[in-house]
A and B are shown apart, each in its own frame.
Chain A
Amino acid sequence: GNSVTQMEGPVTLSEEAFLTINCTYTATGYPSLFWYVQYPGEGLQLLLKATKADDKGSNKGFEATYRKETTSFHLEKGSVQVSDSAVYFCALSVPSEGYSSASKIIFGSGTRLSIRP
């Protein structure tokens, strides 16, 4: 089946530290991969995405590379800020059974990140 496994939190770092949140996936076929972020009291926002192997998604200083050989999509940022404190979700999108144009998103369990000033 299709699934996403991500690093358990919470993760606490000091401002300007390097961040890695690990994410691995299991999927049939060739999924698209996403990182979503959820700030307190809000819905999810797409942070970045990659649609094929070796693609690198990037946004707001965050990066993740679609690694097919290791089935991974680890999130990294070189220097975190207090404003990055949030919950981060790794997710994949796969075609739905029965509807070739449809897809469904499967989320990981989320990693809570807290940044100390």
Chain B
Amino acid sequence: KAGVTQTPRYLIKTRGQQVTLSCSPISGHRSVSWYQQTPGQGLQFLFEYFSETQRNKGNFPGRFSGRQFSNSRSEMNVSTLELGDSALYLCASSSGTGIYNEQFFGPGTRLTVL
């Protein structure tokens, strides 16, 4: 079974631009979660989608948004980029039900904002 894939792996943008990151979950998984990882703040939860519905949202400004398509693929968008948005963005997929199910992580997209 193929793992979670994220594209692109690396991105360089400038302040004020917007960016879209993509995540393809493991086949059959309906839940996709997004995390931001930075040296200072560690791993922070952004949001989770299940069957095209956002079920959970972390404490991030409205510039961060996401969506999920009917095939469970998910995109995350950040508008009006700031220097502090530089981070590794991780996507994770799971079957999506209950607190026992394991989340499988992709390799991440490294975003650098100049």
The chain A residues found within 8 Å of chain B, CB to CB, are 31-32, 34, 36, 41-46, 49, 51, 89, 93-96, 98-99, 101-110
Contact = CB atoms under 8 A, between A and B. Distances in A.
B100 A32 contact: yes
A106 B45 contact: yes
A32 B102 CA distance: 10
Nearest to A95: B99
A45 B92 CA distance: 10
Interface string B32-50: 0101000000110100101
B84 interface: no
Given A42-B107, A51-B100, A102 B48 contact: yes
Nearest to A92: B99
Contacts, number: 65
A6 to B, nearest CB: 10
Where chain A touches its partner, the secondary structure class is strand
B42 A109 contact: yes
A44 B105 contact: yes
Nearest to B42: A109
Given A101-B98, A103-B98, A107-B42, A46 B55 contact: no
A104 B90 CA distance: 15
B56 interface: yes
B93 to A, nearest CB: 11
A101 to B, nearest CB: 5
